[in-house]
Amino acid sequence: MSDLGTPRPVVSAGEITVSGVSKSYGATGFQKEVVRECSFSIERGKLTVMIGPSGCGKSTLIRLLAGFEAPSTGTIKLDGESVSGPSRDRLVLFQESALFPWMTTYDNILYGPRARGEVTAQVLEFAEFLLNKVGLQDFRKKYPTQLSGGMQRRAELARAMINNPEVMILDEPFRGLDAMTKELMWEYYSGLFEESGRTNFFVTTDIDEAVFLADRMLIMSNIPTQVRAVLEVDVPRPRKLADIVVSDRANQIKMEALSILHEEAMKSFSRGSKAAADFVEAYTRRTAKS
């Protein structure tokens, strides 16, 4: 990921504050509360990772942060201004690939500026820079079906970055990848973040992914979700997976997070949750080995 010296936009890094947010669905008297009195911050220039039990309400929070839905109560603000709807200042990278299958890699990356009628010489130069930065310069004319899963994820990262959002929101973007590709993407994505300094909010259910990527980790409760704990992941950057695996501090943070997640899983387990039962079983095996 060498610097090619290409002119590129100054990175904007916003800060989001979530204050007393609740979200319920359904008719009055039959409402289901998914988020309850949730408060946290996504700090400027930091990589904040949210982790919690499956089905706890993380995806609902993403929709609220993106402005796709409005909170039932509470406020969400970007740099002091209320979030009232979707905006290019807050771009979401979802689990499923959103590349247009009829467009080449290059055309997919340029889609945002073209749709807005903002294709300038500087934007074209930035597109070339991003193609090289994500290692897809030799695949510029390929279509999504001709790319591997990891390549598709890199193309989507470039497509988001060309819009220069103040906050990038990622919803388990590497979930469908095989284990080896996923770990390579952790290092790749971490390197892009460390270089840009953009504000990132990353949602996952993978504790190893969370510890490797995060500056701060938000650990969520079961539904209706709240922030159970905020952990500072004070592990030096740049990070390599081989270093994190043997880091005493990283492992200490992981065990602290796992302990909290185990408590939440046990609550769900008592209510018959299959996902919670799987987590409890995995946690028992992990702690037995340590």
End-to-end CA distance of the chain: 37
Percent of the chain whose pLDDT exceeds 90: 65
Whether 65 contacts 19, CB under 8 Å: no
How far is residue 260's CA from residue 88's CA, in Å, rounded to a whole number? 35
Condensed to tens digits (0 to 9), the pLDDT of residues 118-138 reads 999 999 999 999 999 888 999
Cα–chain-centroid distance for residue 110? 22
- AA letter at 92: V
How far is residue 36's CA from residue 224's CA, in Å, rounded to a whole number? 6
Alpha helix stretches (DSSP H) within the chain = 58-66, 105-109, 111-115, 121-133, 149-161, 179-196, 207-213, 241-245, 248-269, 274-289
How far is residue 99's CA from residue 160's CA, in Å, rounded to a whole number? 11
Query: For all residues of the chain together, what is the average pLDDT?
Result: 88
How far is residue 217's CA from residue 229's CA, in Å, rounded to a whole number? 8
pLDDT per residue as tens, the chain (290 positions): 444 444 555 667 899 999 999 999 987 778 899 999 999 999 999 999 999 887 888 999 999 999 999 999 999 999 999 998 999 899 999 887 889 999 999 999 999 999 999 999 999 999 999 999 888 999 999 999 999 999 999 999 999 989 889 999 999 988 888 888 889 899 989 988 988 889 999 999 999 999 999 999 999 998 899 999 999 999 999 999 999 989 999 999 999 999 998 888 777 665 555 555 555 555 555 555 55
Cα–chain-centroid distance for residue 108? 20
Structural domain boundaries of the chain? Answer: 16-289
Question: Structure pTM?
Answer: 0.86
CATH number (1.20.1440.230, 2.60.40.10, 3.60.15.10, 3.40.50.300) of 16-289 reads 3.40.50.300
Whether 177 contacts 204, CB under 8 Å: no
**Other Cβ atoms closer than 10 A to 46:** 19
Residue 203: beta bridge partners? 50, 171
